[in-house]
Amino acid sequence: MSLIKITSLSKHYLGADTVVALDGIDLEIHSGSFVGMMGPSGSGKSTFLSILGGLCQPGSGRVVVNNIDLYALGSEQLADFRREYLGFVFQAFNLIPYLTALENVMLPMAVMSLPAREKRRRAQEVLERVGLGTRVGHLPNQLSGGEQERVAIARALVNKPPLILADEPTGSLDSATSSEIMALLAELHREGQTIVMVTHNPENQAWFHRTVSLRDGLVASDIATAAPLRAAAG
């Protein structure tokens, strides 16, 4: 079943030297996929992820996620969409420094009308799921890089979104911790989670179910992986 349908997606940054970030991309991503978006710097992959995440208005084209035409929505509806349908995992973790791991995970629920106990229960559950059940009261600066990334993943999962968008989640981690994080993402994928991940690290390709390479704003290649590492991780 198609979860994401992208049609003729373009984005040009106008200026003295106009930059063509995306130049008419068509792409369909099925529910339950683990898709890697790869490409060199400036290939447009980060812009692609921003537009897919409802964070950046495209120049032209359509982005439909879960049958919702994103850029037909108003700014506030787009915010609601991000909260309900998306989970973001950022390269720099982007945790709030003055909130504990538990509070950071509860952040997407802060503006939801749920009982405090229910919010806490859900956050605790998802932190245990990523192996941080005993670190709930720690502030980000008391956690290692890998632990912070796990908190970020837990935060992305807490609202049970149909789609997780990850931007270089292993970019600032050593190789051992990177493998742990990739194994965790692969495990989530195996449980049915759809993940679109941007990376420039070719080692990560082994974990993907499908790899889309971008070059100069166009899809250069779109390859399905026959036996991804996810099977091995399982």
Partner 1 sequence: MNLRTIAFNNLRRRKGRMAFLLAGLLIGVATVVTLFSLTTSLTLDAEHKLDSYGANIVITPKRDDLSLSYGGITLAGVNVTQNELRMADLQRIGDIENFNNVAGIAPKVLGAVEIKGVRVLLMGVSPEVEFALKRWWNVDGRTLAEDNELVVGSSAAQRLGLATGEQVIIDGSDFVITGILQPTGSQDDELVIGTLALAQRLFAKEGLVSLVEVAALCAGCPIEEMVEQIAAVLPQAEVNAIQQVVKTRMHALAQFQTFALGISAVVLFIGALVVLVTMMGSVNERTREIGIFRALGFRRGHVVALIEIEAVTVSCFAGLFGYLLGMAATRMILPFLVEAHLEIIWDLRLAGGALLLAVVVGALASLYPALHASRMEPTTALRAL
Least separation in angstroms between residue 60's CB and partner 1 is 18
| Angle between the N-to-C axes of helices 116-129 and 145-157, in degrees from 0 to 180, rounded to the nearest 10 | 130
Nearer to partner 1, 10 or 225 (CB): 10
Q: Compare residues 88 and 208 and give the one whose CB is closer to partner 1.
A: 88
Q: Which is nearer to partner 1, 108 or 228 (CB)?
A: 108
Q: In the bound complex, what is the minimum distance in angstroms from residue 214's beta carbon to partner 1?
A: 15
How distant, in Å, are the alpha carbons of 163, 184, 185 from that of 35? 11, 15, 11
Contact residues for partner 1, defined by CB under 8 A: 46, 49-50, 53, 55-56, 75-76, 79-84, 86, 88, 90-92, 94, 96-99, 103, 106-111, 116, 119-120, 123, 155, 167
Nearer to partner 1, 39 or 228 (CB): 39
In the chain, DSSP assigns E strands to 2-13, 19-30, 34-38, 60-65, 68-69, 86-89, 163-167, 194-198, 210-215, 218-224
Cα angle 129-133-138, degrees, rounded to a multiple of 5: 130
**Nearest approach, Cβ of residue 129 and partner 1 (Å):** 18
Q: How far apart are CA 180 and CA 158, in angstroms?
A: 20
Tokens 């229910």 belong to 118
